Chains A and B, each alone.
Chain A
Amino acid sequence: MSVFVNKDTKVLVQGITGHQAKFHTKIALDYGTNIVAGVTPGHGGEMVLGVPVFNTVSDAVEATGATASIIYVPARFAADSIMEAVDAGLDFVCCITEHIPVLDMIKVRAYLKGKKTIFLGPNCPGILTVDECRLGLLPTYINKKGHVGVISRSGTLTYEATYQLTHAGIGQTTCVGLGGDPVKGIDFIDALEAFNKDEDTYAIVMIGEIGGNAEEKAAAWIKANMKKPVIAFISGRQAPPGKRMGHAGAIISGGMGTAAGKIKALNDAGIEVADTVAQIGETAVRVLKKAGIYDECHTC
């Protein structure tokens, strides 16, 4: 088991003829991802890495029965690509593209209302279910199969946390990179809810950062609903107000969205927060031991 994607997910790649898309499609195929189609307008009928290319998402879905999409399309075309995938009725759509205009994402969010599609991103590293399916940019060699889920707003911190877990012998089920934009698809609570239901996941590591209030809301949700231990880390303790720290969403404004506020909310919900980025792995080990599930989680 896992969340959102697995070995049976039939994946299509939007923008498959692009340089970055080809690079990551190759890695995903080597990892065993079930990629059934690619889409680039004007390239229908071609083959890329043995994958058939279609002009439209609807054509690709009709011909291959694809159920999920990974979007590698430049920012100015990305919102259109997301809506095309949603319109085709896919179950899961992920977009890694950075710098999509916020007003475009507002349109996308309105378009998603009432549709069945789960949307991850944009500006995110993607999702990886260990040894089964990879959508996006996540490096494959740092993951080992196990029972801890990872949720993060940042790409490199997802890698760093996963790497520390693997190093400590703690394998993972699925790693979900939510992305660093202010207006996005699924957030912490959606991913936590999925992991809460997944029988194979015993604990969750969540990595947040300054800006917005998703971590505070997640803390309240965890306190009310979560059956499994959660380990957290928040980056940006030293970020000055009003400065955007790389991610469009990582900004403290009007005294809201500070790391201190998020850490307090998490602590108040009984969640242990690692003091530094270097301590995510050891904090996880400590929490798992305290919860009495370390042995089951020590899988690699």
Chain B
Amino acid sequence: MKIHEYQAKEIMKWYGIDVPNGRAAFSPEEAARIAKDLGSPVAVVKAQIYAGGRGKAGGVKLAHTIDEVKYFASQLLGKRLVTHQNGPEGTVVNRLLIEEGINIVKEYYLGMTIDRDSARIVMMGSADGGMEIETVAKEHPEHIVYEYIDPTAGLQPFQARRMAYRMKFPEYVISKVAKTMENLYQLFVDKDCSLAETNPLVLTADHRIVAADAKLNFDDSAIYRHPEIYALRDESEEDPKERDAAKASLSYINLGGDVACMVNGAGLAMATVDLIKFYGGEPANFLDVGGDSTVEKIAEAFRIMQSDDQVHSVFVNIFGGINKCDVIAGGIVEAAKVVGLKVPVIARLDGTNVEAGRKILREANLPMVHAMEKMEEGAELAVKLAAETKAKLAEGKEA
């Protein structure tokens, strides 16, 4: 789970990490009021969206007067901000962070995440602050320093010191930097983070170490332990279909194409998306219905898939291990009754109770449903029928 920068900064503040003074604003008037309260000669107006790359996309402005703050706020609020991370559609800006300007001497990068190989939290740092760490890793891997943290002992002061020296902080702030690292580590483990990052972490003219930007991501599996974090969720940042799917315990990811896929198991769901593409189609989604499907769940999956006008066929690819093919087939019949089938459905069912499943589909005799025995033939047909549906719709529009 992600949260906004202003929320991440608030949490960092609880943990004793220095952040610029500032507050969230939801209107230009509020922005102006906050800037007035801050009373600093320069204020920063920052668009609050989850995607990174806001600066380059014009989502961060420097204001020298209260009027300027108000002007930038009115420009940004409601604007669709397109960064290299959030795709061509971008994200609408609904909230801003209004902050005091800080006098920056140098920018650094500090981050923590999970290292799969060592099964430890890894701390990463670099003197190349402000740049994307992926870019630094690619172009100057030697500019990044790492500390792997023993989970039983936790981050030790010597590691933090060593890291601070290797990041080339001046001597007079080494202990301050080390303390910031220890605080960030404590936050990471207390709140079950999957990523904690400040980029840039800045050294100011008055010798402060300040998190000028802040990003915290949390482990979805551990969120039950942190209701105060869950409460920070911003639903407007979520894809409505992905949100509906999550409510029905379906794992759904929008991929933008026109051949919808309904599959059991994450691995097979990914492989099915690949298969559609292999046959020249454009997959509309990744959808894993999970291991214990019910008729209702399958019907809901159909509702979500078909809510997209762009979908021109549905490929059902089920291998019943725990799932039973008769339940899936029952779900398709139920979906036809309750939701209605708007586009051709190609169903490949195999595994547990396959004969019963195929029989249910045969007897229901649904004109939109094509039962296939072979996966690759099913995928090919789904791609072909999607193209036909699309052509028919285009004809209809012209007529």
Q: Which residues of A contact B (CB under 8 A)?
A: 75-76, 99-107, 109-110, 125, 137-139, 141-142, 152-160, 163, 180, 182-183, 207, 209-210, 212-214, 233, 235-240, 242-250, 254-255, 259, 275-279
Please determine whether A210 and B270 come into contact, CB atoms closer than 8 angstroms. Answer: yes
- With a CB–CB cut-off of 8 A, which chain B residues contact A138? 321
- Residue among A99, A106, A183, A248 with the highest chain B CB neighbour number at 10 A: A106
CA distance A207 to B283 in the complex (A): 22
Cβ of B255 to closest chain A Cβ, rounded Å: 7
Structural contact, A180 and B375, CB atoms closer than 8 A: no
Judge if B399 is at the interface, Cβ distance under 8 Å: no
Q: Is the CB–CB distance between A106 and B137 below 8 Å?
A: no
How many pairs of residues, A versus B, come closer than 8 Å at their CB atoms?
Answer: 168
- CB neighbours (8 Å) of B255 from chain A are 238, 240
The residues of B that contact A239 with a CB separation of less than 8 Å are 270, 273, 286
Those 9 A-B pairs whose CB atoms lie nearest each other, nearest first: A154-B267, A156-B265, A246-B266, A101-B222, A277-B271, A157-B267, A109-B119, A156-B268, A235-B271
Hey, which chain B residues are within 8 Å of A100, CB to CB? 221
In the complex, A141→B121 CA distance in Å?
42
**CB-CB under 8 A for A243 and B119, given A106-B114, A156-B321, A235-B271:** no
Q: How far is the CA of A237 from the CA of B222 in the complex (A)?
A: 29
A285 to B119, CA, bound (A): 37
How many Å from the CB of B93 to the closest CB on chain A? 20
Known: A209-B270, A237-B274, A245-B253. A137 touches B219 (CB 8 A): no
- Report yes or no: B189 in contact with A103, Cβ–Cβ below 8 A: yes
21 sampled A-B residue pairs with Cβ under 8 A: A99-B221, A137-B321, A138-B321, A139-B320, A154-B266, A154-B268, A155-B291, A155-B321, A156-B319, A159-B319, A209-B267, A209-B270, A214-B116, A235-B267, A246-B266, A246-B286, A247-B267, A254-B137, A275-B278, A278-B374, A279-B376
With A156-B319, A235-B271 in contact, is A102–B117 under 8 Å at CB?
no
A106, A159, A277: the one within 8 Å of B151 (CB): A106
| Inter-chain contacts of A159 with B (CB < 8 A) | 319, 321, 351
A238 to B276, CA, bound (A): 10
Interface 0/1 of B223-236, CB less than 8 Å to A? 01100000000000
Q: Which residue of chain B is the closest to A164 with respect to CB atoms?
A: B375
**A102, B254: Cα distance in complex, Å:** 25
A24 CB, min distance to chain B CBs, angstroms: 9
Does B322 reach chain A (CB closer than 8 Å)? yes
Query: In the assembly, what is the distance between CA of A137 and CA of B352, in Å?
Result: 13
Interface centre among A100, A238, A279 (most CB of B within 10 A): A238
Partner pick for A246 among B138, B219, B224, B251, CB 8 A cutoff: B251
A102 near B219: Cβ-Cβ < 8 Å: yes
A138 to B304, CA, bound (A): 29
Nearest A residue to B348 by beta-carbon distance? A278
Minimum Cβ distance to chain B for residue A207 (Å)? 7
Are the CB atoms of B266 and A180 closer together than 8 Å? yes
Contact at B192–A277, with CB atoms within 8 Å? Answer: no
Contact residue among A139, A154, A210, A275 (Cβ-Cβ distance under 8 Å from B265): A154
Q: Are B222 and A213 in contact (CB under 8 A)?
A: no
Q: Which of A139, A255, A276 contacts B322 (CB 8 A)?
A: A139
* Cα-based distance from A136 to B258 in the complex (angstroms): 36
Whether B35 is near chain A, meaning CB under 8 Å from some CB there, is no
Q: Which B residues are CB-close (under 8 A) to A275?
A: 278
- CB atoms of A180 and B221 under 8 A apart: no
Closest to A102 in B: B219
Interchain CA distance A60-B138 in the complex, whole Å? 52
> Cα distance A254–B52 when bound, in Å?
13
Number of interface residues of B (CB under 8 A): 56
Minimum CB–CB distance from B265 to chain A (whole Å) comes to 3
| B-to-A contact residues, CB < 8 Å | 85, 114, 116-117, 119-121, 133-134, 137-138, 150-152, 189, 192, 194, 219-222, 224-225, 251, 253, 255, 263-275, 277-278, 283, 286, 288, 291, 319-322, 350-352, 374-376, 379
- B272: chain A residues at CB < 8 Å are 277
- Told that A139-B351, A250-B270 touch, could you supply 4 new A-B pairs with CB distance under 8 A? A103-B219, A142-B351, A209-B266, A238-B255
Q: Which of A101, A183, A254, A259 contacts B134 (CB 8 A)?
A: A254
B134 touches A153 (CB 8 A): no
Complex Cα distance, B319 from A107, in Å, reads: 35
Given A101-B219, A153-B267, A213-B117, check contact A276 B376 (CB 8 Å): yes
Most buried by B among A103, A183, A245, A250: A103
Closest CB-CB distance, B228 to chain A, in whole Å? 16
Please indicate the chain B residues that have their CB under 8 angstroms from the CB of A254 in the complex.
Answer: 133-134, 137
Contact A163 B350 (CB under 8 A): yes
Q: Are B268 and A160 in contact (CB under 8 A)?
A: yes
Which B residue sits closest to A239, measured CB to CB?
B270
B151 lies within 8 A of A155 (CB): no
CA distance A106 to B352 in the complex (A): 36
With a cutoff of 8 Å between Cβ atoms, the chain B residues found around residue A153 in the complex are: 267
Q: Is the CB of B221 within 8 A of A75?
A: yes
Of the candidates B121, B269, B321, the one having the most CB atoms from chain A within 10 angstroms of its own CB is: B321
Chain B positions within 8 Å of A103 at CB level: 151, 189, 192, 219, 222
Tell me, rounded to whole Å, the shortest Cβ–Cβ distance linking B49 to chain A: 14
Cβ A238 vs Cβ B268 within 8 A? no
Chain A residues contacting B219 (CB-CB under 8 Å) are 101-103
Find chain B residues with CB under 8 A from A238 CB. 255, 270, 273-274, 277, 283
- Residue on A with the closest CB to B268? A156
Tell me the minimal C-beta distance from A21 to chain B in angstroms: 13
Contact A106/B266 with A235-B271, A237-B277 known, Cβ cut-off 8 Å: no
Q: How far is the CB of A249 from chain B (nearest CB, A)?
A: 7
B contact residues around A240 at 8 Å (CB): 253, 255
